[in-house]
Amino acid sequence: MTQPYHIVILGGGSAGWMTAAALSKVLDRQHYKIILVESSAIGTVSVGEATIPGIREFNQLLQIDENEFLRETQGSFKLGIAFENWQNIGDEYMHPFGPYGITLNGVPFHHYYLRHEREVGAGDAMPLHELNLEWSAALAHKFTRPIADKRSPLGHIKYAYHFDAHAYARYLKKYATARGVVALEDRMQTAKQHPNGAIASLMLEKQGELAGDFFIDCSGFKALLISETLGVSYHDWRKWMPCDSAVALPGEHDAADILPYTRSIAHHEGWRWKIPLQHRTGEGWVYSSRFTDSDKAEREFRETIGNFDSTANHLRWINGRRDEAWKHNVCAIGLSAGFIEPLESTGLQLTQSGIMRLISLLPGKGSMTERAQAFNRYTAEEITNIRDFVMCHYKLTDRDDSEFWRYCRDMEIPDSLQERLDLYHENGSIFRNSNNELFNEISWFSMFHGQGLTPAQVHPIAEQMPAETMQQHLATVQRIFKQSVAQLPSHADFIRKHCQAS
């Protein structure tokens, strides 16, 4: 290219600045010019304070110092997500980020545990959390990064973060602008299009006309380019995931004992999150506008957490995806491309995977038809698989205490999810639909088992092991994990030593 290729990002926030930071890292300034347009008059939606382990790969791409990043964002570490009251009131389980035990004879560990549970009875079985390092450490409020000795379970510990999403966006803005990204404080009025429908330029309130070769829509739910300008339709999935609203407030905070996991606590018309940061605990009350209204939701939320003074932040969304996330010379990243409610912390993950997919299929001069089709196919596949995973939490409930939970329990589900349920019910097998699928058998088993789904059989190879041998193996795993967790510092102490915010 003899002239720089102009990439224009519309919208800041987490999506915009994650995109700008990643592109500024991998593209040279001689051949590419990156401009981000954001307006401080437009609020950003922040439902991304809890993450899953993929965010570490993104930060590693940027070569970000983890301690500095956590100090700047008031962050903490996250070993999993605790689910309370989902199958029945009083039940609790965890979706940990690391594996259960180890695979034996090519068969996932959970088959052996299910056999053990069947043979000794659920009441006498080893506690499942003692066979998972991350779950055990989380319950003990302990944490460490992976140690150098890869023979130890502590050499492979899996984790993510809790952080202030607004602070993360500010941190990445500083990162990106230092690498040549031009930040414009402005607001789009309209977009000009070429005869073929592609975007030619944006008309801004202050700067006037801003031309570009490729445009990235990070304008959130408004989707100003991909939807308002190009008219790309949206698949509404609220019949399967009815929770489409939330109200957020600060909760009671304990700086001396910051939990290394997110809490997801089901209530009578939805669920609420508890996200522990260094300086506060973020809390949200998620509900369905079909079954309750915002005033009632806020009142019940305040009564539950005892916060009657702070100003509440109300959020609304439509669970679903854009029919095409990339059309012509516009690619939607983040909320403009689609959104699955906050339950499994996938908001920033979908942003991240969209960015990495765009880098892999980097736009340029000439036709981009095949790249756009590939991007759209993989994007649709990824978010559909996430949809099924999140939806399954609601379907696998026995709760009968509200119209909301009865609807979730009795709702029809897509064939793609029904096939997974049928396969697991038959013999405990779990398979990814593709390599593009985010959640693995650890995630699916955690939910299936935690919400009471019991298979009729387990894998035949797991049945071959002598009962005494299997019992000894499980006891060895249990002992090693207990010894490993006993060595760890508390999560709060680890933060104080390595990444305490000033």
Q: Which residues are annotated as a binding site for 7-chloro-L-tryptophan?
A: 78
Give pairs for 69-73: CB < 8 Å, separation 24+: 69/163, 69/168, 69/171, 70/161, 70/163, 70/495, 70/499, 70/501, 71/499, 71/500, 71/501, 71/502, 72/167, 72/170, 72/171, 72/501, 73/161, 73/163, 73/164, 73/167, 73/168, 73/171
Measuring CA to CA, which residue among 10, 434, 408, 379 is closest to residue 186? Answer: 10
Binding residues: 12-15, 78, 335, 344
Amino acid at 295: D
Binding residues for L-tryptophan: 344
3-class SS letters over 234-286: EEECCCCCCCCEEEEEEECCCCCCCCCCEEEEEECCEEEEEEECCCCEEEEEE
Amino acid at 501: A
Query: Is the CB of residue 85 less than 8 Å from the CB of residue 91?
Result: yes
Tokens of 139: 């319950």
Q: Is position 78 annotated as part of the catalytic site?
A: yes
| Catalytic residue selected from 25, 33, 78, 482 | 78
Percentage helix, strand, coil for the chain under 3-state DSSP, each rounded to 5: 40, 20, 40
The contacts of residue 404 (CB under 8 Å, 6+ apart) are: 242, 268, 269, 270, 287, 288, 291, 292
Q: Which residues are catalytic?
A: 78
